Structure 1
Amino acid sequence: MGHQTTAAGVSNLPHTGQSTGLRANVYVNVYVNNLLDFAAAKKGAEPGGVPCQVCEGNVEGPKSWCADCGMLLCQSCIAMHRKVPATSDHQIVPQEDITTMGGMEGLERKRHCHKHKNQELVFYCESCNALVCTACTVVDHRPGKDHNPVEIGTVAQKRTEKLRQLLKQLDPRIKEIQDSINKAEKTMSNLIPSKEAATDQAKTYFRQLADILQKREKEILSQIDEQYRADGKALQTKKEAIEFELAGLTSAQTFCQQAVEHGSDVHILEVGNQVQTRVETLLAKQLELESDWSEFQFVENTTVAGFQEKSKDFGDVKINVDISKCKLVVKPAVKGFECVAMLTTINKDGRPYITNSKAVDVTANMKDTFGRNVQTKLQMKSMGEWEISYTPKITGNHSLEVKVNTRHVERSPFYVRVQEREKPVLTIGRKGSGVGELDGPVGVAVGKDGNIVVVDQGNKRVQIFDVDTGQSLHRFPVDGEKPFGVDVDSKGGLFVASYGSNYGVRCYSKKGDLFNSFKPDCMKQPRGVAVLQDGRMVVADTRRKSCLLLQPDGSLIREIGKGQLQFPQFMAVDATHDAMYVTDRSEQNIFVFGLEENKEFGMGRKVTLTDNFKPRRKV
């Protein structure tokens, strides 16, 4: 009964460092089971109670709790329990004790070794991070250089004190986060009224502009009507005057024609002079036959395209960007490579301004050393960041002009030094033991913030350098005789592998606080280390001549490269393709392995990057 599986479906925890793949869940489930046991025991001690979990009777009678079995038993079953040799030594907690207990102490079911079934887990092997029984300390975890079993109470006391310290840090942090949430909720509650007010103002403004345009339209149409009437009247008068002259000419023409065709000689002599004088007078009269009128038309003093351009100035959305606080970080620039500069828009409170790309007008213009334009590409990132990318074609000083809402960012234009690809764009450290100095730098990694993490082996420390300036930001000592490899996980934790005496893999915070240590039995001489996004680790072990794929708790998943690698040192992981690249100093080559066993190159494949690899040592 000491190994009974509870409702959570988990039996006693194994004591060794074997790979189960579920250890974290087992720890959680055992604790949850203890909580369930405590709740069941307390309920069984209440008036009315619950049935005995063995005979399923005696609801009203007193119950006792068997800490070894994790069950409530009535008095009859308890008496039988004590008579059976296998359960005679089980710890029984009477009902009166259950009633007075405030916590789980005394009710937690005992944990037994899965290898030595009758042995309780009473020791903790610090080297293996595992609970063990007394028999294990004699066989598998004998005290020595590889194992260090100590009493559970001693380790638990230290862990409890550390957890208490962490609890003290949690309260102010939780309050800080809660205050931030409250502030965000308050700000969000102001969004709707702010939007409604801005919407009403915008509608009123553009209605006024529309009213002005409609009024102007009526004025222009009225002017067209007036001009039409005036021109029509003038043309009508002109027409009537010309028609009058035409009538006189027509009449003279008819009279003259009749006299010529039908008049006698006497008649011609009598009226001839009169007709001649009339016709000559009409012919000699100067007439204004032209109307002197041209079509009137509407003139676009402002074109539609011009108006559309000017309409961009008709109102705007006011934003809280402080131009004087905006920051631009120019990354090292190399000829022929895509280079970037990062702009962060800052609000009046000194925080990154989060907005949509249309609310902030950002422009970037670059010129090379001869004043020629260099094409730039602008892309908005999250948290108010803008990426300015460009590909310089020549070396030398370039100027980068950056504006936000038509105003220059402070110190704009910025001068960017573009170098040849053969020259280093940044040099970090020099030989020594002071701040920013290095003695035997080996492992290197890049953190989430972009800064550079270096293992300074000669000084037995880790240094973190600013990626833009190369200045030392922080440093802290590390354990282990020869620290070597380093990697940074997704949460910013620094994993440092060291070989020699006191070897292992240790996890530190960026400030240098030791979070965890890993030294499973499978590990002998770790060099390089890489951490996957899911928390798994890959460690290059030179003594085992292979790489170890480990669970987040340090237990072995599988060994990679055995029989192929001779002296593995550094590694890099391509998470996209589940591939791992390993440098081998003895083989003078690089091997690529699949992290998953079913990968097509899972058995290992050499990749020659340059001809004739040769080991080099340079301080």
Structure 2
Amino acid sequence: MASKMKEFTEFNEQFLTCPVCMLHFRDPRVLPCLHTFCRECLQEWTTKQQPLECPTCRTQVSLPDQGVDGLRTNFFVNNLLDFVAAKKGAEPGVPCQVCKGNMEGSKSWCADCAILMCESCNLVHRQLPFSKDHEVISEETLKAEKDVRKVYGKQHCDKHKKYELEFYCESCKALVCTACTVVDHRPGKDHNPIEITPAAQKKKESLQALLQDIDPRLREIQASVKEFERKISNLAPSKEVATDQAKSYFRQIIGLLQKREREILSQIDEQSRADGKALQTKKEAIEFELAGLTSAQTFCQQAVEHGSEVHILEVGNQVQTRVETLLAKQLDLESDWSEFQFVENTAVTDFQKQVRDLGGVKTNFKVFLKPAVQGFPCFANLLTRSTEGRSCITNSEAITTNMNDPSGKNVPTKLQMKSDGVLEITYIPKATGNHRLEVKVNSQQVPGSPFDVQVHGKDAPAFTIGQMGNRVEELDGPLGVAVNKDGNIAVVERVSKRVKIFDAKTGQSLCSFPIESDCPFGIAVDSNERVFVTSFGENYGIRRYSKEGKLLNTFKSGCMKNTLGVAVLQDGRMVVADREQKSCLLLQPDGSLIREIGKGQLQSPAFVSVDESRDMMFVTDIEAHKVFVFDLDGNQTFTFGTKGQNEGELKTPIGLTLDQTGNIIVVNNDGGRIQMFGPDGTFIRTVATVKGGSPYGITLTPDGYIAVACYTGQCVKFYRYN
């Protein structure tokens, strides 16, 4: 369009034609999306469609209070239409627009009035007081002129008709006349009218800068269009190649199956012939014996019934010997043949499952299932990035999902586009057991679909890291657990005397490093990912490590005796529970004591957690079966907990942590109940119950799981929290 603005020869009818009525624009109005239409066309369009959408690009339009009349007039198009009319008027046979005659004579164009005049009318026009100063262009100039700006008329103020628009109010962003600068736009704090020329030049420069930004973006989009065109052109041959490969692949498999079928049928045929021959031979042998015995029977019967005494005595001994011989003969009258049958070494149903893995269509779509827990929002991620790292799907309309629970009942799913080409599938299962999730892109199953999703009950861990879990990573006596800013899980192991850091999403070990102490216990990670580990016994103290495991500092002041749980504040201060001192110690970043907290109140402090927004610290007491709450000045604010195994009661409370709203999460070492209490200690609910494993430290992960270090279970269990 920029080139069209420069040269009239590049204008065409399409540029001056309304896309709705397909006629030259009549009172053209421009929409916010910069598409122009006739005022009447837009008014008619609004009666058919609400909310209004641009007829060209479908961008939704919010009309001003005045409706279509409040839209800006496209003066540029109006001037172009006038220019086209003026150029045509300079051609032979066009009448004067004033007197309607003088078709053959030369004509002139009044840029201010936008009319074509013959010489006579032009002479009168120049003598009239109101038009004597108008810009009049001769026919020769008009024919030679290509720059539309040379025939622009003067624009007059809508309010003060006789005054030209000569100023621009920067405050109101409006063109005004001289009278307006005196009445409505008087210079001052609310108005700043400046001459139109410098204002236009300034705006022109900003638009030129925008044009420079448009060019690379246009090239990028054009390149993208070409890439799409290339891929579309490659679609048919790619389909043909893939089809040929698939047909060849399955023809080979069919060939193998047919060959195996022939082999089996041949074996059946050969076995049948062999068995038939053996049976026939045995049958003939038995028939031979049958014939002999039948003959002897007949002879003997004839002798008994019809023979004389002499005849009987004469042949009797011979008959008797023959019959006794035949009767005494051992015959194999049983058939040792059993009917042969075809054996399905692989059941059809099993083979049907295997057939699903016979080949496939390689796509850029992958589904990652996350652990699912009954009654909680659960997730699966559909990765839609191309090999170049760009998203293959820009909206979720191309994706369809369907989930069924073990009974076949549908489980509603929701889709949401995330960043980096990831689509999140959300569902809330109401039943436990194996669910089936089907995912399709453009009506085609993604690889692996339908997926088996195992939904656990809330008391069962969603997943586990360690020997008792389904993620094979060795742990040996885990006591403390913490989470870093990346959501990775740091675990301190008492027996192995080391720290291991895991990727909480995959369960894979990221790194590990040894602890220079015989009895490590508590762990914390600060905002710089430095790891703090407490220990008791002969080599007690607090050790600070880099995230790579390098020992940075060892804090071992005289105020420490038996350090257990630890928390690190944003400013580097530390709070540590000391079981032998029966108190908590607030320490400077260099390990020096600020104050002792809870002395005389705590009996056996174990783990601590700090809510810096309220300047409060929470500590579990395993002998008092309570949680004590202090401010950082050392004052006790309240306690909560009653000894017992019921809901809301505490029995040897051990690990604790806080959620973002200040709720307190506590796990009982005795019984394994994980409970949530409000910021004031009021019982809210039981989250889950750890079955065995001796739970100790706990932490809350960014994606809503409670990680529990199980000392004797040699693992870290993850339970769904929210």
TM-score range, shorter chain: 0.5 to 0.7
Find the partner of 2:254 among 210, 234, 238: 210
Verify the 8 A CA contact 1:340 1:390 in the aligned structure 2: yes
Quote how far apart the aligned CAs of 1:96 are. 3.5
> Matched residues in 1 for 2:464 and 2:139: separation?
80
> Matched residues in 1 for 2:306 and 2:382: separation?
106
Quote how far apart the aligned CAs of 1:168 are. 1.8
> Matched residues in 2 for 1:315 and 1:108: separation?
70
Quote how far apart the aligned CAs of 1:251 are. 1.7
**Which amino acid is the alignment partner of residue 37 of structure 1?**
D
**Which amino acid is the alignment partner of residue 348 of structure 1?**
T
The answer to whether structure 1 residue 20 and structure 2 residue 66 are counterparts is yes
**Which amino acid is the alignment partner of residue 295 of structure 1?**
E
> Matched residues in 2 for 1:385 and 1:179: separation?
24
Distance 1:211 1:245, change over 3 A: same
Quote how far apart the aligned CAs of 1:308 are. 1.9
> Matched residues in 2 for 1:260 and 1:329: separation?
94
Give the secondary structure class of the aligned counterpart of 1:163.
Answer: helix
Verify the 8 A CA contact 1:339 1:389 in the aligned structure 2: yes
Distance 1:299 1:122, change over 3 A: same
> Matched residues in 1 for 2:24 and 2:175: separation?
23
1:576 corresponds to which residue?
none
Verify the 8 A CA contact 1:378 1:386 in the aligned structure 2: no
Verify the 8 A CA contact 2:373 2:462 in the aligned structure 1: no
**Which amino acid is the alignment partner of residue 317 of structure 1?**
V
> Matched residues in 2 for 1:133 and 1:153: separation?
13
> Matched residues in 1 for 2:310 and 2:359: separation?
94
> Matched residues in 1 for 2:68 and 2:395: separation?
44
The answer to whether structure 1 residue 56 and structure 2 residue 56 are counterparts is no
Distance 1:204 1:379, change over 3 A: farther
**Structure 1: which 5+ runs fail to align?**
1-5, 365-374, 402-409, 417-619
> Matched residues in 1 for 2:380 and 2:362: separation?
26
Deviations 1:541-572 (A, max 9, x none): xxxxxxxxxxxxxxxxxxxxxxxxxxxxxxxx
Quote how far apart the aligned CAs of 1:231 are. 1.4
> Matched residues in 2 for 1:143 and 1:320: separation?
62
Give the secondary structure class of the aligned counterpart of 1:56.
Answer: coil
The answer to whether structure 1 residue 387 and structure 2 residue 424 are counterparts is yes
The answer to whether structure 1 residue 350 and structure 2 residue 350 are counterparts is no
Distance 1:414 1:90, change over 3 A: same
2:377 corresponds to which residue?
338
Listed as ranges, the matches of 1:371-520 within 5 Å are 384-389=421-426, 414=505
Deviations 1:13-61 (A, max 9, x none): 9xxxx95333674332x21010111222233345x36332223333332
> Matched residues in 1 for 2:374 and 2:347: separation?
45
Find the partner of 1:40 among 82, 85, 109: 85
Quote how far apart the aligned CAs of 1:159 are. 0.7
Quote how far apart the aligned CAs of 1:88 are. 4.2
Distance 1:297 1:341, change over 3 A: closer
Distance 1:356 1:222, change over 3 A: farther
Distance 1:24 1:177, change over 3 A: farther
**Which amino acid is the alignment partner of residue 387 of structure 2?**
K
2:307 corresponds to which residue?
263
Distance 1:203 1:134, change over 3 A: same
1:476 corresponds to which residue?
none
**Which amino acid is the alignment partner of residue 26 of structure 2?**
G
Give the secondary structure class of the aligned counterpart of 1:22.
Answer: helix
Give the secondary structure class of the aligned counterpart of 2:105.
Answer: coil
Verify the 8 A CA contact 2:395 2:417 in the aligned structure 1: no
Verify the 8 A CA contact 2:29 2:71 in the aligned structure 1: no
Quote how far apart the aligned CAs of 1:353 are. 4.6
TM-score normalised by length of structure 2: 0.46
Distance 1:355 1:233, change over 3 A: farther
> Matched residues in 2 for 1:19 and 1:74: separation?
44
Verify the 8 A CA contact 1:124 1:132 in the aligned structure 2: yes
Give aligned pairs, total.
Answer: 379
> Matched residues in 2 for 1:299 and 1:135: separation?
105
2:287 corresponds to which residue?
243
Verify the 8 A CA contact 2:379 2:425 in the aligned structure 1: yes
Q: Which structure exhibits the higher relative contact order, with contacts defined as CA atoms closer than 8 Å and separated by 6 or more residues?
A: 1
The answer to whether structure 1 residue 112 and structure 2 residue 156 are counterparts is yes
Deviations 1:508-538 (A, max 9, x none): xxxxxxxxxxxxxxxxxxxxxxxxxxxxxxx
> Matched residues in 2 for 1:52 and 1:213: separation?
91
**Which range moved further: 160-169 or 176-185?**
176-185
Deviations 1:58-77 (A, max 9, x none): 33322211122211111112
**Structure 2: which 5+ runs fail to align?**
1-22, 31-63, 404-410, 430-456, 466-487, 489-501, 508-722
Quote how far apart the aligned CAs of 1:268 are. 2.3
2:187 corresponds to which residue?
143
Quote how far apart the aligned CAs of 1:311 are. 2.1
> Matched residues in 2 for 1:66 and 1:160: separation?
27
Distance 1:207 1:339, change over 3 A: closer
> Matched residues in 2 for 1:276 and 1:137: separation?
154
> Matched residues in 2 for 1:294 and 1:120: separation?
115
1:187 corresponds to which residue?
231
Find the partner of 2:354 among 300, 310, 320: 310
> Matched residues in 1 for 2:144 and 2:269: separation?
103
Deviations 1:145-178 (A, max 9, x none): 3333222223212111111111122222222222
Verify the 8 A CA contact 1:10 1:26 in the aligned structure 2: no
Quote how far apart the aligned CAs of 1:303 are. 1.6
> Matched residues in 2 for 1:400 and 1:151: separation?
74
Distance 1:75 1:161, change over 3 A: same
> Matched residues in 2 for 1:353 and 1:7: separation?
42
Quote how far apart the aligned CAs of 1:81 are. 2.5
Quote how far apart the aligned CAs of 1:289 are. 0.9
Verify the 8 A CA contact 1:125 1:132 in the aligned structure 2: yes
1:474 corresponds to which residue?
none
Give the secondary structure class of the aligned counterpart of 1:105.
Answer: helix
